[in-house]
Structure 1
Amino acid sequence: MQSMRNFFRPSWSSPQRLDGKTVVITGANTGIGKEAAIDLAKRGARVIMACRDMERGQAALKEVVESSANENVACMKLDLSDTKSIREFADNINKGEEKLNILLNNAGVMVCPYGKTADGFEMQIGVNHMGHFLLTYLLLDLIKKSAPARIINVSSVAHRFGSINLEDINSEKSYDKNGAYAQSKLANVLFTRSLAKRLEGTGVTAYSLHPGVVQTDLCRHLNGPQKFVMKVISPFTKSSTQGAQTSIYCAVEPSLDKESGGYYSDCAPAKCSAKAQDDDMAQRLWELSCGMLSITWE
């Protein structure tokens, strides 16, 4: 019912400016990431597009600059499936940027065939959760220094179908691509909850969100029946521009200054699953992630 109510809610918009603010968006060369980059650049922000494919990234950069009439946009290499690339990217940001006011962890892979990242993580948990977990950790000092600041994790309603398998987080014993995707999206919400608690009193807030069912490149790994369903429901799905709105809302909406750790959909607070509110599991996932990434993050 929530989604039906939200469907009839007037669309959100805000004149909020971001002059003098710096934004990093992962996966900004396509889909909702690119649309968010255009919108935040129009608001006057310095936007850094973190992209795996630099050729596509440069083409998207040109489009963002032209659409926003803002020249202060950069494209930098970031491969979330490789911790070496994540560390290099974060190092470049920490050395080259004076501040980081908004980190939009947007990039993701969805229901892909079984594969592993450079560090041996299952691809979906590796990119969608571990990559962004490490990136946030490495940029956190700069983000805190830039407070008030926001960290936004793009999750999905698919988190409702997920469960965290701590004993087999990399799906080595058995792999279900839909289950692994749902697990990674549940991890995004749990990460956000834990992060918000740890950031209390710092001036940095954290949010997770469901962008809506969006027709993007992410759908390329869907099987025949899933593609058919997407075709049938396509009149009710969102364009990339519409899909980016909740990310933008979490980035700029002034009323969220006092909120942190929540889950949003259709530019409004939404209810996440009971599993996504399990603070014990959130803590265990946090500890496991730190161990697998060889980091100490209290």
Structure 2
Amino acid sequence: MNSFNLKDISDQSGKVAVVTGANDGLGFETTKFFASKGIEMVMACRNIEKALVAKNKILSIIATAKLDIIPLDLKSLNAVHKFVDTFNTKYKRLDILVNNAGIMIPPFSLTEDGFESQMGVNYFSHFLLTNLLLNQLKSTPNSRVVSLSSIAHKSGKIDFNNINSKGKYNKVAAYSQSKLACLIFAKELNKRLEEKNKSILSVAAHPGVSATNLFQFLPTWFKVVAPIFEPLFSHSPEKAALPIIVASLHPEINGGDYIGPGGFNEMKGKPTIAKSTPIANDEEVAEKLWALSEKLTNNNFNI
């Protein structure tokens, strides 16, 4: 397994990056690191007040940081279109797209477009966002798309007969499905880009286990006992963001790579090549999911 050193990441001045969910947790830590390397950051956030707090916090640490906030609510495909329209009027390049924002095991709800909330936010909206930003990525040499998966993908399956988990709702299974979909997408996108000889790299990353805002829907009893076990099985958001940073910036990353922590069960540890399940590499499943995603987001990928 490869081991990646952050010291290999040089100054990145002149580049532009979009990070979804940049105001908190992994997105905040990723944005802060990118800014420290001179990257002009677009913080794609739903809550603008929280985004402003995060922006000011980064500026207090990195006075020279270039930070721009553009609203993005991933529970709405229309909002994704509006974000891209705004981005395209302000920027003429996109070096890095980090599809980071997500929700985990919430009560059942549907997005504006009728998606189960986890599939909508974690996967479908990011599928559309990547699609709509593809021309910017194609026109920028050696650009990258980083999709966020999870250890939870290992127990996931794509339920094509009930993709939005209507009826009996298992929120854990729905989360696993969404993160499996993100990993399948990353690999399939890279395959299609390679077939068209595009210089864009599509890669995936997962943070292991970290107490971020994703934990807000966990049971109260778990939140009470979690601090006792956290040092054994999880790491800080700052360390959990390292696989994302490596996937986005490290010079030795290849298209289709999947980066995660190298410790016990990939829960924590230094960034390395992570393991994925056979279904994550199933080309038939990937093609079926791709076609369904184009249909449900009402947009065909123009690679």
Please give the range of the TM-score, normalised by the shorter of the 2 chains.
over 0.9
Partner of 2:256: 261
Whole-Å Cα distance in 2 between the matches of residues 161 and 233 of structure 1? 23
**Which of 248, 252, 268 is 1:251 aligned to?**
248
Query: Residue type of the partner of 2:239?
Result: Q
Q: 1:71 to 1:271 in 2, by over 3 A?
A: closer
Deviation at 1:90, TM superposition (A): 0.6
Could you say what secondary structure the match of 2:215 adopts?
A: helix
Query: Residue type of the partner of 1:115?
Result: S
Q: Does 1:275 align with 2:279?
A: yes
Aligned residues: 290
Q: 1:13 to 1:242 in 2, by over 3 A?
A: farther
Whole-Å Cα distance in 2 between the matches of residues 279 and 252 of structure 1? 27
Whole-Å Cα distance in 2 between the matches of residues 252 and 36 of structure 1? 11
Q: Deviations over 1:82-124 (max 9, x none)?
A: 0111000011112210100000010000000001111110000
**Which of 16, 23, 26 is 1:29 aligned to?**
23
Whole-Å Cα distance in 2 between the matches of residues 74 and 195 of structure 1? 27
Query: Residue type of the partner of 2:42?
Result: I
Whole-Å Cα distance in 2 between the matches of residues 212 and 12 of structure 1? 18
Are the equivalent residues in 1 in contact too, given 2:70–2:86 (CA < 8 A)?
Answer: no
Q: Does 1:219 align with 2:215?
A: yes
Q: Over aligned residue pairs, what C-alpha RMSD do you find?
A: 1.7
- TM-score (structure 1 length as normaliser): 0.93
**Identity across matched positions, percent:** 36
Q: Deviations over 1:26-53 (max 9, x none)?
A: 0000001001101000000000100000
Partner of 2:265: none
Partner of 2:292: 288
Q: 1:230 to 1:13 in 2, by over 3 A?
A: farther
Could you say what secondary structure the match of 1:29 adopts?
A: coil
Are the equivalent residues in 2 in contact too, given 1:152–1:206 (CA < 8 A)?
Answer: yes
Are the equivalent residues in 2 in contact too, given 1:208–1:264 (CA < 8 A)?
Answer: yes
- TM-score (structure 2 length as normaliser): 0.92
Whole-Å Cα distance in 1 between the matches of residues 210 and 249 of structure 2? 21
Runs of 4+ residues deviating >3 angstroms: 9-15, 224-232
Q: 1:229 to 1:166 in 2, by over 3 A?
A: farther
Query: Residue type of the partner of 2:138?
Result: K
Q: Deviations over 1:188-211 (max 9, x none)?
A: 000001100111121100111111
Whole-Å Cα distance in 1 between the matches of residues 4 and 28 of structure 2? 24
Q: Does 1:137 align with 2:131?
A: yes
Are the equivalent residues in 2 in contact too, given 1:208–1:263 (CA < 8 A)?
Answer: yes
Query: Residue type of the partner of 1:164?
Result: I
Residue correspondence of structure 1 range 87-236 to structure 2 within 5 A: 87-200=81-194, 201-224=197-220, 226-227=222-223, 230-236=226-232
Deviation at 1:65, TM superposition (A): 2.0
In structure 1, the gaps of 5 or more residues are none
Deviation at 1:251, TM superposition (A): 1.1
Q: 1:134 to 1:191 in 2, by over 3 A?
A: same
Deviation at 1:69, TM superposition (A): 2.4
Are the equivalent residues in 2 in contact too, given 1:152–1:251 (CA < 8 A)?
Answer: yes
Deviation at 1:268, TM superposition (A): 1.3
Could you say what secondary structure the match of 2:216 adopts?
A: helix
